[in-house]
């Protein structure tokens, strides 16, 4: 997938979720996925710096 296709797919998924979830659910999912993204980024940097 190209970067444009990836961002379009993520936006589409967010729009679909927003149609069926409450504001509280959206806030929770946003926090969880933000933490997931930060954790994955940290793991990638550590792996890269340690040569894994």
> 18 by DSSP, 3-state: which?
helix
Burial class (CB in 10 A: 0-12, 13-18, 19+), 27: exposed
Domain ranges of the chain: 21-52
pLDDT at position 29 is 97
Token pair in block for residue 50: 């340690």
If one counts every other C-beta atom within 10 angstroms of the C-beta of residue 26, the result is: 14
Global pTM reads 0.76
CA angle (15, 40, 27) in 5-degree steps = 35
For the stretch 1-43, pLDDT in tens is 999 999 999 999 999 999 999 999 999 999 999 999 999 999 9
């Amino acid at each position: 997938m190209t970067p444009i296709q990836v961002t379009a797919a993520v936006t589409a998924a967010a729009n679909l979720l927003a149609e069926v979830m409450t504001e509280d659910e959206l806030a929770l999912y946003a926090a969880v996925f933000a933490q997931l993204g930060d954790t994955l980024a940290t793991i990638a940097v550590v792996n890269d710096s340690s040569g894994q």
